[in-house]
A and B are shown apart, each in its own frame.
Chain A
């Protein structure tokens, strides 16, 4: 592929080390509690990186990422509980279903300029949440769907499975972002009119990126459903999207690996702040405001850049 830039060794090594450290953490500090927290952190990592691939690169912020997550999770619930299929079916089906929703919503909204996309996605997610409550006979209403079978019974093995998926997805999306494809997405972020003039079908690029992003969000949703063993309408809530967006902002928008770090950092931090309980979402919202104002490039990506220069890498 032309224009493909090799992932530089330093970043690759750092990523691999981080993955290994995360994989080894439960062995060093045993306990199901830590495994649970890390599993959730890894799933948030998948959600954050999938959000960043579409919205971070093209600059089209998706305020309804929770829609894809919820669709994926409910797909897992339906297949597993109502249709009594094996849990492994959830993964491909949730991805396909989320992709379908992405086409359905992306086609009318991504052709347009301006903020229509962000708002339409926000509305769609709010409405989906309402629908889950309204059609409670099928969706279980406020309680959602219970008794979903686990994918892998051993918690530690499941954690490793999720972590491996996170690694693969991050690598894949990072590679895509560095390829010609990613370059075009960045160009769209910079100036749509110029891209159009250069003969780039920007709408196609944006919709396909949304579909890719949705696929992994849906996959993450299914993984979450099979971890929690239940799904609830709360998955569709705007706060889910905002939590993810905050993670991406902390990590550094458009950097792919940054958001994964942001997700891990924030999940672990908020676990540490468990006793603040109901203040958690407040902390997220205020943090988001502060970062937008004072650190628009995020925290993790700039830190990493500085660190890399310090050890003699390319800036």
Chain B
């Protein structure tokens, strides 16, 4: 039972990170190494809002997410767009951005761990297992937000524009879809999902300047396993990885959890580089 719940929470966080990461790749063919920074900035933004500005938590959270979305759009417009012709250029620039963010956080806040308040402090008991309310909330919000995103993409006009670009960017342009505006929108969505994950996971995971690294590694592993650019693939892979890590943590030791993602990545790259849902099922 513990495995079931904790695995679900871990998977939910991974899914929020991976869906945004794969979305921006699927649409703009941008591999965004600064994705982890959005997560970190979300957590730090909430910390600043509540701890320094003294805002109520939900206001701080909303502000932090809005700020990160704006930051994402600016990074995309100013730094990524001119280099979009070269994938390696994009990788370099986003890696540099992530380091600038890390260093800025380090210079401003120092390297010590920060506390982000939880939305729910009480513990709930499910089937004889005590679970922090915050973890359950994370799970709930993740399911709702990813579900909403899925509906948005499948059902709305803007969503079908996103789909069209991901299938064939050039043809979409000829149909009069303003691709640059769509890219900004997707970047904003992707950044705010990562920030949301940071806001929600902040209270029970560590908040410090280099926190952006593991999420990007995990998101990458998930996206490889699920197939680059596929949202259902990354949700499935997030579930697999989340449960696999929780299982390993319970059965073997927590030390070995980090190995899971690397092993999964390497095996997948050797045997099925396209991932479970690569290319064919773009969404």
Residue numbers of A with Cβ under 8 A of B are 59, 61, 63, 105, 107-109, 111-112, 114-116, 118-120, 122-124, 126-127, 130-131, 134-135, 238-239, 242, 245, 278-279, 281-282, 284-286, 288-289, 292-293
Contact B91 A116, beta carbon cutoff 8 Å: no
A-B contacts besides A119-B91, A242-B99, A286-B96, 19 pairs, CB < 8 Å: A108-B266, A109-B269, A112-B273, A116-B273, A120-B266, A123-B262, A123-B265, A127-B259, A127-B262, A130-B214, A130-B258, A238-B95, A279-B103, A282-B103, A285-B99, A286-B100, A289-B100, A292-B92, A292-B96
CA distance A278 to B108 in the complex (A): 11
CA–CA, A123 to B260, complex, Å?
A: 12
Q: Which of B79-87, B117-125, B160-168 contacts A (4 or more CB under 8 A)?
A: B79-87
**Nearest Cβ on chain A to B136's Cβ, whole angstroms:** 28
CA gap between A282 and B107 in the complex, in Å: 9
**B248 shortest CB reach to chain A, Å:** 13
28 contacts between A and B (CB under 8 A): A61-B88, A63-B91, A63-B95, A109-B269, A115-B31, A115-B87, A115-B91, A116-B273, A120-B269, A122-B33, A122-B216, A122-B220, A123-B220, A123-B261, A123-B265, A126-B213, A130-B214, A131-B258, A135-B255, A238-B95, A238-B99, A238-B213, A282-B104, A282-B107, A285-B99, A286-B100, A288-B92, A292-B89
Docked CA distance A278–B220 (Å): 29
Minimum CB–CB distance from A118 to chain B (whole Å) comes to 5
Encode contact with A along B101-127: 1 for CB under 8 Å, 0 otherwise.
001101100000000000000000000
Give the dominant DSSP class at A's interface: helix
Between B213, B216, B261, B270, the greatest number of chain A beta carbons within 10 A of the residue's beta carbon is seen for: B213
- Nearest 5 interchain pairs by C-beta: A282-B103, A285-B99, A108-B269, A134-B255, A108-B270
Q: Are A289 and B107 in contact (CB under 8 A)?
A: no
Residues from chain A with Cβ under 8 Å of B273 in the complex: 111-112, 116
- State A109–B89 Cα separation when bound (angstroms): 19
Q: Which of A131, A245, A285 contacts B103 (CB 8 A)?
A: A285
Whether B100 pairs with A285 at a CB distance below 8 angstroms is yes
Cβ-defined contact, A281 with B103, below 8 A = yes
A120 contact set on B, CB distance < 8 A: 220, 265-266, 269
Chain B residues numbered 252-281 whose CB sits less than 8 Å from any CB in chain A = 255, 258-259, 261-262, 265-266, 269-270, 273
The answer for the CA separation of A97 and B258 in the assembled complex, in Å, is 22
Minimal Cβ-Cβ distance residue in B for A280: B103
Q: Contacts A108-B266, A131-B258, A278-B107: A245 and B99 contacting too (C-beta < 8 A)? A: no
Indicate whether A245 sits within 8 Å of B92 (C-beta atoms), given known contacts A123-B220, A126-B217, A278-B106: yes
CB atoms of A285 and B96 under 8 A apart: yes
Q: How far, in angstroms, from A108 to B99 measured CA to CA in the complex? A: 27
- Flag B207-221 by CB within 8 Å of A: 1 or 0 each: 000000110110011
